[in-house]
C-alpha cells in the first residue's frame, strides 16, 4: 500500500442473493493481495455455508472445522481462540505452497462445520468487534465473507463497526452481484432499500454518507456484450441494447458506474470448479489471463485510497 493508505483495512464482502461469486471473488482478491506482499486475514462469517476452506483447498476444512474452535463457537463464547490456518503452509495445492519470496501471509479463520445461523446479541457483537480489532493490529487487510442477504453476520458486522472498538478503523463494504436485471435490483435493494445496509447501519449509529462512501459494488461473471464478436447482427443489436439498459438500471438503483469497484469476466474454470485462479493456471492455458487481470485490478482498487476519495 502507498504512504497515504490506512495502516490496515477491514473489508466486508456482502451480497443480497446467494451464489453471486462473493466467496470465490473475495478469496481471489485475498490471494492477489497476498502475492503483493501483504499480510491478509480471511474471516469466514458465512455461518450458513462456510466455504473458504474448500476455496483455499485446505484438506478436512472444506466445510469448516470440527473441533469446536471455529468462528461460530467463538462468537457464541464457547472458545476464546478461534482456529487459524496458514493457507500457504496447509493448502493441498502444491503451486499455492510455492508462494513467491515477496508474498506476505494468508491466514484463514474458518467457521464450524454445521454451525448454522444463530441470533445476534450484545455479546456476539462485542466478541466480533474484539476479534476484528485484534486482527487489524496484525494484518494489513482483513476480509470478512458475510452470509448472503440481511443476515445475522451482516448485523454483527454493522453493529461491531459502529462500536467504540472499531469506530475509528477504516472499513469498506463490497456488494457482489451478477450482471443481470434481477441481481441489479437485488443489490440496489440491499444497499438502498428497506432494512438494507444503509437503513440498518444508520439505526446502529453509522453516518449514512460515510457508509455510502465506503461501499462499492463488484459485478461478477459478466457476459461478453461486445457485438463485434457475435456473428448474428440481430443478436449483436439485442446484446448491445441489454448492456445499455442494464447500465441504466444500475444507475437508477444507485449502483451505477460511480459505485463500481470493478467486474470479473465469465471464467470457464470457475463455472466448473470453485477455486483460486493461480498464475500457473493461466500459464498452463487452463484459465483466462483476463480473469487474473480482473482480480489483480480489484485488489489494487480495494487498497488504493484514491478509489475511496469522495472529494468531501
CA distances from 261 to 42, 205, 216, 221 (A): 19, 25, 5, 14
Sign of CA dihedral 164, 22, 273, 105: negative
- Of 75, 78, 176, which Cα lies nearest the Cα of 132? 75
Binding to Mg ion by residue 23, rule CB under 5 A? Answer: yes
Only one of the segments 16-24, 188-196, 207-215, 298-306 lies at the binding site for ligand ATP (rule: CB under 6 A); that segment is: 16-24
CA distances from 145 to 48, 109, 158, 177, 219 (A): 11, 11, 13, 14, 16
Phi, psi values for residue 225, rounded to 5°: -120, 10
The listed partner (ligand ATP, Mg ion, none) that binds 19, CB under 5 to 8 Å by sort, is: ligand ATP
* The residue to which cell 496447509 is assigned: 90
Report which residue's Cβ sits closest to Mg ion.
23
Residue 138 makes CB contacts below 8 A (sequence gap 6+) with 39, 41
- Cα angle 212, 149, 242 (rounded to 5 degrees) comes to 75
Binding to ligand ATP by residue 220, rule CB under 6 A? Answer: yes
Out of 14, 20, 99, 151, the only residue in the binding site for ligand ATP (CB under 6 A) is: 20
Q: How far is the CB of 268 from ligand ATP (least distance, A)?
A: 7
Write out the three cell numbers for 280: 500457473
Binding to ligand ATP by residue 21, rule CB under 6 A? Answer: yes
Only one of the segments 21-29, 57-65, 123-131, 205-213 lies at the binding site for ligand ATP (rule: CB under 6 A); that segment is: 21-29
Out of 39, 46, 155, 281, the only residue in the binding site for ligand ATP (CB under 6 A) is: 46
Q: Rounded distance, CA 187 to CA 118, Å?
A: 24
Q: How far is the CB of 81 from ligand ATP (least distance, A)?
A: 26
Task: Looking at residues 263 to 302 of the shown chain, list those that interact with ligand ATP (rule: CB under 6 A).
Answer: 264, 266-267, 270-271, 274
Binding to Mg ion by residue 26, rule CB under 5 A? Answer: no
The contact pattern for Mg ion, residues 32-61, with x = CB under 5 A and - = no contact, is: -------------------x----------
Binding site for ligand ATP (CB under 6 A): 15, 18-25, 46, 49, 51, 148, 220-221, 264, 266-267, 270-271, 274
Question: Interface residues with Mg ion (CB under 5 A)?
Answer: 23, 51
Amino acid at each position: 500500500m502507498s504512504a497515504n493508505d490506512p495502516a490496515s483495512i477491514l473489508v466486508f464482502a456482502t451480497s443480497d442473493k446467494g451464489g453471486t461469486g462473493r466467496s470465490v471473488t473475495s478469496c481471489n482478491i485475498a490471494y492477489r493481495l497476498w502475492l503483493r506482499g501483504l499480510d491478509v486475514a480471511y474471516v469466514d462469517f458465512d455461518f450458513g455455508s462456510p466455504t473458504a476452506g474448500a476455496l483455499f483447498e485446505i484438506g478436512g476444512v472444506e466445510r469448516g472445522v470440527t473441533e469446536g474452535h471455529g468462528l461460530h463457537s467463538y462468537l457464541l463464547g464457547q472458545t476464546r481462540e478461534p482456529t487459524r490456518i496458514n493457507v500457504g503452509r496447509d493448502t493441498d495445492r502444491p503451486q499455492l505452497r510455492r508462494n513467491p519470496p515477496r508474498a506476505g501471509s494468508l491466514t484463514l479463520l474458518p467457521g464450524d462445520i454445521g454451525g448454522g445461523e444463530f441470533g445476534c446479541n450484545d455479546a456476539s457483537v462485542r466478541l466480533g468487534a474484539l476479534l476484528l480489532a485484534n486482527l487489524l493490529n496484525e494484518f494489513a487487510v482483513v476480509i470478512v465473507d458475510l452470509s448472503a442477504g440481511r443476515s445475522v453476520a451482516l448485523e454483527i458486522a454493522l453493529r461491531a463497526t459502529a462500536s467504540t472498538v472499531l469506530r475509528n478503523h477504516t472499513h469498506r463494504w463490497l456488494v457482489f452481484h451478477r450482471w443481470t436485471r434481477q441481481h441489479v435490483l437485488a443489490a440496489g435493494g440491499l444497499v438502498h432499500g428497506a432494512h438494507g445496509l444503509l437503513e440498518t447501519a444508520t439505526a446502529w449509529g453509522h453516518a449514512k454518507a460515510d457508509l455510502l462512501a465506503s461501499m462499492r459494488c463488484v459485478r461478477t461473471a459478466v457476459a461478453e456484450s461486445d457485438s463485434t464478436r457475435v456473428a448474428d447482427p440481430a443478436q449483436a443489436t439485442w446484446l448491445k441494447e441489454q448492456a445499455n439498459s442494464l447500465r441504466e438500471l444500475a444507475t437508477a438503483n444507485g449502483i451505477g458506474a460511480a459505485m463500481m469497484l470493478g467486474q470479473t469476466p465469465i471464467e470457464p474454470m470457475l463455472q466448473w470448479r470453485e477455486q483460486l485462479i493461480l498464475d500457473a493456471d493461466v500459464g498452463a492455458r487452463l484459465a483466462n489471463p483476463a480473469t487474473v487481470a480482473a482480480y489483480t485490478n480489484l485488489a489494487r482498487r480495494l487498497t488504493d485510497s484514491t478509489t475511496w476519495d469522495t472529494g468531501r
